[in-house]
Amino acid sequence: MTNKRESIHGQWSSRWAFILAATGAAVGLGNIWKFPYIMGQNGGGAFVVLYLACILLVATPIFIAEVMLGRRARRSPVQGMTVLAQEERASPAWKYLGWMGVIAGFLILSYYSVIMGWAMAYVERAMTGSFNGLDGAALQRMFESFKANPMELLFWHSLAMLITMLVVVRGVRAGLQAFTVLLMPALFVILLLLVGYGVSTGYFGAAFSYMFTPDFSKLTAHSVVVALGHSFFTLSIGMGLIMAYGSYMPEKVSIGQTALLVVAADTTVALLAGLAIYPVVFANGLEPSAGPGLVFQTLPIAFGHMPLGVLIGTLFFALLTLAAWTSSISMIEPAIAHVVEKRGWTRVKAGIWLGLGAWLLGIASVLSFNHWNEFKLFGKTFFELLDFATSNIMLPLGGLLIAIFATWIMRRESSFDELGMSERAYTLWRILTRYVAPLGIVVIFLYGLGILA
């Protein structure tokens, strides 16, 4: 009797811990900053449909596969892939999948910290009432002059990297992740308030039809690749992080249900962010294609005009910072775990060196918004190139390899046993992961290369 109670309690709390960690990593700048602006750059509704299709048919099955590999290996990604490859008599080269994740996470952190710094800088502006009464044009100028000032961007980038690494080295993740319990409802409430403000502008209908009336003639090969890449970025999959988190998951927990919960929370936040931002965009005659500054140029208009705008604006950017924080601490985890395991470094030493490296690389992203904004490769600035290479190439490639390993290399018994799903759910997952997702990724890649276009 006592035993049973204990085991039930243990399972519940660990399932909860995984959900908090994974949701904390998933919900971040990707949902609130990136999704609305890439939607605007890629034709609105058609992009949303494509993104949702990628989430359901490609990213969710791979999310489940990644958790499954992690729980089976019970190790960090590089070692984990080595062990699994041995167990399944596959090539030891699979460990390079782990390696690609280590590198991708490091690269993403370098620019993520820069944007997290923007959110922090806007907490200060919101708090001091800087948005009061400003219109779209004035807020655009405010953002442009902010972006043009490398020293200010550098200051906030440094602070963002510092608080990220403090959590990473001190291992107080549990404490920060506990915020996720408060963060999610608070974010929901603020976003709903902003959607409410959007309704009051009279442009909610316009925003809604912009987001949900697809015009597929607006899609380009590029936007298809971006939608796929974003479905990986927003769920934090394809680089071994979810594998690492999955390795702490207790045996009896249903991976499928847990994954669906995380995906649902993540997708809801992204759609709400779109529904909060676009009424303001249309009400003020702004450009949906404004780019990375979109959220910083639009929502402050609302804060500057609504009752309690100073409070709500401050809370919004503070929550955005917090959401970014629970994501940024996760990105570097595969890299940290790797040097700690492999080189025997302490967490502090690993944190200092990797953090310093990511900070240095982040300076190039800072400069790409001002001094270096003319330097372009393939028509992209350094920040854009890094974002493209990681989100749209490395993550989907990692995801493709995860899907292949989980369903073509690993024996059916192994994955069936580990997932513990009903026969029907398992079959659905297997078809999606074995055929649909890999085919989707390959076709979109080829299409993106212009081969099938």
**Which residues form the interface with ligand TRP (CB under 6 A)?**
25-26, 28-31, 105, 108, 233-234, 236, 239, 241, 327, 330-331
Q: 19 or 286, CB closer to ligand TRP?
A: 19
Q: How far is the CB of 262 from ligand TRP (least distance, A)?
A: 10
Q: 236 or 267, CB closer to ligand TRP?
A: 236
Q: How far is the CB of 151 from ligand TRP (least distance, A)?
A: 26
Q: 168 or 301, CB closer to ligand TRP?
A: 168
Q: How far is the CB of 200 from ligand TRP (least distance, A)?
A: 29
Q: 241 or 406, CB closer to ligand TRP?
A: 241
**Nearest residue to ligand TRP, by Cβ distance, number only:** 30
Q: By CB neighbour count within 10 A (0-12 exposed, 13-18 middle, 19+ buried), where does 171 fall?
A: exposed
Q: How far is the CB of 78 from ligand TRP (least distance, A)?
A: 16
Q: 28 or 117, CB closer to ligand TRP?
A: 28
Q: How far is the CB of 22 from ligand TRP (least distance, A)?
A: 10
Q: 244 or 286, CB closer to ligand TRP?
A: 244
Q: How far is the CB of 138 from ligand TRP (least distance, A)?
A: 28
